Structure 1
Amino acid sequence: MSSTITLTAADGHEFSAWQAGAQDAPYALIVVQEIFGVNHNIRNVADEFAAAGFTVLAPAVFDRVQRNVELGYSPEDVKEGLKLRSEIPLSDTLADLQACAKHFRHHAPHRKVGIIGYCWGGTLAWDAATHTHDLAAAVSWYGGGIAAHRDATPHCPVQLHFGVEDTSIPHQDVKTIRETHPEVELYVYDDAGHGFGNRDRSSFNADANHLAWKRSVEFLKARLHT
Structure 2
Amino acid sequence: MSRIKTLTASDGHHLSAYIAGDADAERAIVVIQEAFGVTPYIRSVCDRLAEMGYHAIAPALYDRVERDLVLAYEGDGLKRALETYASCDQADALLDVTAAADYLHQAGHKRVGAIGFCWGGLLSWRMATQTQKLQAAVSWYGGGIAGESHAAPHCPVQLHFGGQDAHIPHTDILTIRQNQPDLELFVYDQADHGFGCFDRSSYNEDAASLAWQRSMDFLSQHI
| Same structural fold, with TM-score higher than 0.5 when normalized by the shorter chain | yes
Counterpart secondary structure, 1:179:
helix
1:132-165: CA deviations, max 9, x gaps?
A: 1111100000001101211211111100000111
Measured in 2, the distance between the counterparts of 1:19 and 1:165 equals 33
Shift of 1:76: 2.0
Q: Output the CA distance in 2 between the equivalents of 1:42 and 1:134.
A: 21
Provide the rounded CA distance (Å) in 2 between the counterparts of 1:81 and 1:106: 32
Between the aligned partners of 2:121 and 2:143, the Cα distance in structure 1 is 8
1:146 corresponds to which residue?
A: 145
What's 1:73 paired with? 73
Q: Tell me by how many angstroms 1:78 deviates.
A: 1.8
| Alignment: residue pair count | 223
| SS of residue paired to 1:116 | strand
Counterpart CA distance in 2 for 1:124 and 1:83 is 18
Partner of 1:188: 187
More deviation, 198-207/77-86: 77-86
SS in 2 for 1:195: coil
Normalised to the residue count of structure 1, the TM-score between the two structures is 0.96
Aligned pairs for 1:97-176 (under 5 A) are: 97-108=97-108, 111-176=110-175
Give the whole-Å Cα distance in 1 for the aligned partners of 2:107 and 2:4: 17
**Aligned partner letter, 1:8:** T
Query: TM-score, with normalisation over the residues of structure 2?
Result: 0.97
Tell me the equivalent position of 1:198. Answer: 197
* d(CA) in 1 for partners of 2:162, 2:168: 9
For structure 2, the residue ranges without an aligned partner over 5 or more in a row are none
Q: Secondary structure at the match of 1:6?
A: strand
| Distance in structure 2 (CA, Å) of the matches to 1:3 and 1:107 | 15
Q: Per the alignment, in what secondary structure is the counterpart of residue 92 of structure 2?
A: helix
Matches within 5 A, 1:13-52: 13-52=13-52
Query: Percent of counterpart pairs with the same letter?
Result: 51
The CA deviation string for residues 36-75 of structure 1, in whole angstroms up to 9 with x for no partner, is 0001111111111111111000000110111111111113
Distance in 2 (alpha carbons) for counterparts of 1:206 and 1:44 = 16
CA distance in 2 between partners of 1:174 and 1:79 (Å): 26
Structure 1 gaps, min length 5: none
User: What is residue 58 of structure 1 aligned with on the other side?
Assistant: 58
Report which stretch shifted further, 110-119 or 193-202.
110-119
**Cα distance in 1 for residues equivalent to 2:26 and 2:78:** 36
2: CA distance between counterparts of 1:104 and 1:90?
22
- Aligned residue number for residue 214 of structure 1: 213
Runs of 4 or more above 3 Å deviation: none
1:125 positional shift: 0.5
Distance in 1 between residues matched to 2:64 and 2:98, nearest whole Å? 15
